[in-house]
Structure 1
Amino acid sequence: MNTLAIRMSKTLTALALLLSAGVALAAHHEEKKDIVDTAVEAGSFSTLVTAVKAADLVDTLKGEGPFTVFAPTDDAFAKLPAGTVEDLLKPENKDKLTAVLTYHVVPGKVMAADAMKADSATTVQGGDITIKTMDGKVMVDDATVTQDDIEASNGVIHVIDTVIMP
């Protein structure tokens, strides 16, 4: 091999290594966030995030999982009777708040296509939620899934329009 061919080969090898390092670095920066960080970043779950913090469930929902969270939006919490959220957030009501929040969580990663095939699911709280499909939309108890399959590093979030109660 002549010296020009050797230099070109070395240059191409170095370029290939740089490109593969760049792809690996880009993939590292695009890692999925966990359920809590995904909810915080979305911006429409501030009430849910506040409640999760008050119930000391942040570490759990940042844990390995996987979890499926039926996440009520701020608008869903606003539909509750006046004073309900404030009452649930009181320290003396932590057990009740925890029950409400864990009723929105199903162990495992249940994507919308799988949920549409189910009639019910047992929640982390221990109760069963009813799952049905109406007009192509998934219903969980009395809530409608308005956005589905938001993947997180430790599970999936399905956005719902109503807070469901155990």
Structure 2
Amino acid sequence: MRATRTAVLVASFILGCHAPRVGASDRGTIYDALIANEQTAILAIAAKETGLTAVLKGKDEYTLFAPTDAAFLKLDDDGIGAVARNEQVVQKLLRSHLVKGKYTTAALKKKAQAGESLTTIGDERLKIEERGDGLYVGGVKLEPDAADLGCSNGVIHLLGALRAVPK
């Protein structure tokens, strides 16, 4: 049942439907910021449907490398199908974009200079690289105008592409 609801919600967002937004000058928690940001509707619904809201609303600090709705729209038919039909795929996808601890752009640049990686809560390694055209995490460029979105329990960096759709 839950997987079916997830499929319907993700598919509806991919097809262009939009959920109501809450406006707030304070971003609140990571989850609150996802809900309030017009670019992350799909990710906010996916977090709710896969039960990760408790983590994103909690007191522990995290860094979320958040794929935008536009990133989801870039998926091919197989990728859209995998995300829309399989809750475990969605949960793996979310867990592969979330890191314990608060990493601002400045902290990420230091990690890149030191050749260090980050490990997601899904136990994946994310290589941090500073290239001529920007900062990359796990091979995907951070959106330069949408980095360091501070929250009460961490920080969000928007990504214009998905790192990969898990199988």
TM range (shorter): 0.7 to 0.9
Aligned position for 1:107: 100
Alignment pair present for 1:153 and 2:148: no
Whole-Å separation in 1 of the counterparts to 2:117 and 2:76? 26
Residue identity matched to 2:122: Q
Percent identical pairs in the alignment equals 29
Instruction: Give the Cα separation in 1 of the matches to 2:142 and 2:89.
Output: 24
Question: Deviation string for 1:23-69 (max 9, x for gaps)?
Answer: xxxxxx96541011111111110111121122111122111120000
- Residue of structure 2 in register with 1:130 after alignment: 127
Rg larger in 1 or in 2? Answer: 1
> How many residues end up aligned between the 2 structures?
136
1:16-35 → structure 2 map (5 Å cutoff): 32-35=27-30
TM-score, normalisation: structure 1: 0.75
1:148 partner amino acid: A
Aligned in 2, Cα 1:31/1:70: closer, same or farther, shift over 3 Å? Answer: same
State the alpha-carbon separation in 1 of the partners of residues 30 and 39 from structure 2.
Answer: 14
Query: What's the secondary structure of 2:34's corresponding residue?
Result: helix
What is the correspondence of 1:6-155 to structure 2 with a 5 Å cutoff? 32-90=27-85, 93-118=86-111, 119-135=116-132, 137-146=134-143, 147-155=146-154
Distance 1:64 1:89 in 2: 30
Unaligned runs of at least 5 residues, structure 1? 1-28
Q: Is the 8 Å Cα contact of residues 142 and 162 (structure 1) preserved in structure 2?
A: no
Gaps of 5+ in 2: 1-23
TM-score (norm 2): 0.74
**Kept after mapping to 2: 8 A contact 1:142/1:164:** yes
The verdict on how the C-alpha distance between 1:162 and 1:153 changes in structure 2, with shifts beyond 3 A counting, is same
